Chains A and B, each alone.
Chain A
Amino acid sequence: MNHINVSVDGVKYSDDVEPRMLLVHYLREVAGRTGTPIGCDTSNCGACTVLLSGMSVKSCSVLAVQADGAQITTIEGLANGEWHPLQRAFREEHALQCGYCTPGMIMAASDLLRDNPRPTQQEVREGLEGNLCRCTGYQNIVAAVLRAAAEMSGQSATDAPTKAAPQTGAVS
């Protein structure tokens, strides 16, 4: 057993864990953060994405012991009194159906926007390539991220970056 001290969504934890325990299992089964789901076992799907000291990681490919001393933010800690703009945008744009990929998708998108606050549509598509969704065809996810980006930077969603790909809007 190894001892770790972590902060999860602002709450401090001090626990003994097996060296082999995955961070996602620690979050779900020790810290009770079941909002972060597991979609695969090869770090392809991204459903388990969380922020580890501000950077997005797939928590199935990090050991709990590697998170010692870190601050972790999950989907359950993203809202700060009110929903994060990404959470609102995902709802407004119907960017989720079953919702299983959604926590990871939102956390990955939050890191994407930290890195690139006004991405183009193509940059969003490429930035979320590591997160799989089987329901939405991604179209509304991309729309939601662009909407949140606009809101977070204080501009309207239609005021798209000049780099945006042309002629791509849905007709209906």
Chain B
Amino acid sequence: MTATETPGAVPANSEVTSEIGRRRVRKEDARLVTGQTNWTDNIRLPGMLHVAFLRSPYAHARINSVDLSAAREAPGVIAAFSGADLASEQGSLPCAWPVTPDIVMPDHPPMATGEVRYVGEIVAGVVARDRYAAADALEAIDVDYDPLPPVLDMEAALAEGSPKVHAAGNKSFEWPFSAGDIEAAFRDAPVVIERTFRQQRLIPSAMEPRAVVCAAVGDEYTMWSATQIPHILRLMLAMVTGIPEQQIRVIAPDVGGGFGSKLQVTAEEVLALLLARRLGKPVKWTESRSEGNMAVHHGRDQIQRIKLAADRDGRLRGLSVDLLADMGAYLMLVTPGVPLLGAFMFNAIYKMDAYSFTCTGVFTTKTPTDAYRGAGRPEATFAIERMMDELANELGMDPLALRERNWIRHEEFPFTTIAGLTYDSGNYEAATAKAREIFRYDELRKEQAERRAAGSPVQLGLGTSTYTEMCGLAPSRILGQLSYGAGGWEHASVRMLPTGKVEVVTGSSAHGQGHETAWSQIVADKLGVPFEDVRVLHGDTQVSPKGMDTYGSRSLTVGGIALVNACDKVVEKARVIAAAMLEVAPEDLEWSPGRWSVRGDPDQGKTIAEIALATFAAHNLPDGVEPSLDSEATYDPDNFSYPHGTHLCAAEVDTETGQVTIRSYVAVDDVGTVVNPLIVDGQVHGGLAQGIGQALYEEAVYDDDGNLVTTTMADYILPTAADLPEFQTARTETPATSNPLGVKGVGEAGTIASTPAVVNAVIDALRPLGVRDVPMPCTPERVWRAIQLARLGRAPDSGDAPSAAPATPPANQAHDAELNPAHGQEEGM
């Protein structure tokens, strides 16, 4: 299904002489397709107890009392706790990103004390012999609450007199950024487009629900957790609980997806540690999906007010962005930083004179938000790519032509953008040309015109998204400038075993990305050893003591380079020992993959395996040379990486039912050098599905009392196989100049690019009907309502009023009242 025939694409295996670039099936798969997996919930330790948590049924309430007496008497119950019981030891969950000096960063006890601020916040816990007994005992806990007013709307939350989520108020921070003379850019601008977009709240929905097991033996604590960040979690557990870091070991066993949702230090992890310590027994907690939808951090949730100024010929003058970002009830690990990652991306691939950005972080009585695939960058890309289509329409230009008018030309790289980032490389012309050709853009435009002329009930829309992203998080220096609490380096070590086999230890922590395979390919090339001879170890702080883990499309661009550097050190160490073995000077040797040989006499040489064995024996090493080839490297990138691409979506929109069907989707991505095309394609496919999910299906919906009503997978609609088209993916390859492999990130690209491509296609289909926006997700109901409102000459709703599920639109012309999106939103799921 993935035959490579497009000119310029990565060559098929027969043409590849190196491991890098080869379509390798994954090493990881053998255990995953046979059920020999080690998910956290599979772990059973002798004497292990089970934890269940009671969660707040109120969005906002004062806790008067928690009566645990009946629960403690229930069969099989070992202990029960309230927040008050743990107050002296539970600390406050960490936020590592205080984005401004005056940020409001409220205390966040893992188990609530005094007040609850979202439905799903933990109020009490039971430890029992098995999970059924623990769940039963929750029923016996009596909590007396005084309900307080919920705070659900960001704009209302900032208004004077709003009920307060925290005593310090509902505004967490305001973060401004500007470059160029924005007033001049807008003054006398011939064209100004102004729009408000709503980035709806999303639930990341990794297929594996969270789980944690914690064992306390003496003063040593071992935690198994379904986490993306074992290293950061270990550090944070030590900082929150005061337990010395060297006494904590964190293991991320097989982890079933994350997408940012497991880039977190959770209440459940901290509480499992405290309960294991108190009881001296191992404890396990596994969440149910319904529990997780309330309690795992959510993503997105922004109101974006965007203004774009341009000349009549389409040249961009200035861009002004005013964001409200919903923090939810508390600041979690990187909550405030997520929208700011978008601050440098609204200008995207375009040149302009001036740019201004302001983000206000707002507290509400909802589940906290934090990183979700793309984290800030999908929101920014959506806004600018939607605006470019709006501007193209205003000017009567083709959307691709408008983009080309403004993008950075390939000969202009490296290019420092208005937001201050230096894009190292790219070729937007090449990616766009290729996408146009595969998509058959001109033919589809012709068909669109025909359908419009015929007044077809099913209209065709073409959506464009020419994205870039900053990924490969991140240069530590820049993170410091942005007030992040840690660096962005990564660590790797390479151990040469006496038999010539290789063990690699990486600080990246894979949970589906295929690091074991890709890292083996890199090592095979760098050391000249067989792919099969490399073993990759990760995800256990005792095995891999140093790392910054996996998120932000950083593993290959940061962790992969650390690995390259460690391999280079191994090769240099081997040179000195090979020279002694061959009785020549080190500078008389030359390296070919896997072997040092004498320059001019290639028959005289030693393989890396022979050198490894001689190093192990250490009988005849030169004076002062240590008997080891093992090497390690910690790499801090100088710059982000900037993958880019052109995505084109053709959507058919049934104007009678509002149903959107994606007819074709072309993604041409430039992710630099490709290590494994199979894995890259897989990342793109999955990213597209998540971005399309935001465009058409997904939304976390709250009712007026602050109850999350999309608590199950029946209510929170994830795309299925039947909902998605067969994607057409292709690549251009402009190597990154910022790292020795030439690689860029790919994990988030599909998600970032696809949401605006799909929504632009929907709007493009409906524009002749007067529709200029449909709030996401573009459900049949919302599309249908937008069409009806446009017919009545009314502006579309901005998306503030959520629509829980696609309702069946009325068959006849409806009354005005029925068209108000505020109506019908509580209708059945």
Contact = CB atoms under 8 A, between A and B. Distances in A.
Contacts, number: 215
Interface string B513-530: 110000000000000000
Interface string B89-106: 000000000000000000
Contacts of B6: 171-172
A42 B512 contact: no
A129 B722 contact: yes
A21 B29 CA distance: 31
B168 interface: no
- A40, A135, A141: most-surrounded residue (chain B CB, <10 A): A135
Contacts of B666: 171
Interface in B20-66: 25-26, 28-30, 32-37, 39, 41-42
Given A94-B681, A170-B727, A128 B721 contact: yes
B449 interface: no
A117 interface: no
Interface residues of A, number: 64
Contacts of A44: 712-714
A124 B256 contact: no
B239 interface: no
B497 interface: no
**How many residues of B sit at the interface, in one of the four size bands?**
35 or more
A138 B39 CA distance: 22
B720 A129 contact: yes
A59 interface: no
B53 to A, nearest CB: 15
A39 B722 contact: no
Contact of B721 (A41, A90, A138, A172): A138
Contacts of A47: 207
Query: Which secondary structure dominates chain A's binding surface?
Result: loop
A172 B10 contact: yes
Contacts of A69: none
A114 B721 CA distance: 19
A20 B259 CA distance: 34
A136 B2 CA distance: 14
Interface in A71-90: 74-76, 79, 83, 87, 90
A8 interface: no
A49 interface: no
A40 B289 contact: yes
A121 B726 contact: yes
Contact of B689 (A75, A76, A137, A171): A137
Interface in A113-129: 121, 124-126, 128-129
Interface in A1-54: 18, 20-21, 28, 33-42, 44-45, 47
Contacts of B256: 37, 98-100
Given A75-B34, A140-B685, A41 B718 contact: no
B28 A132 contact: no
- B32, B41, B728, B729: most-surrounded residue (chain A CB, <10 A): B32
A125 B206 contact: no
A33 B25 contact: no
A133 interface: yes
Contacts of A126: 721-722
27 contacts: A21-B132, A33-B35, A35-B35, A41-B288, A42-B712, A45-B207, A75-B33, A75-B35, A76-B35, A87-B33, A94-B25, A97-B686, A99-B256, A100-B206, A101-B207, A128-B720, A128-B721, A131-B721, A135-B682, A137-B685, A139-B685, A142-B721, A170-B1, A170-B728, A172-B4, A172-B677, A172-B729
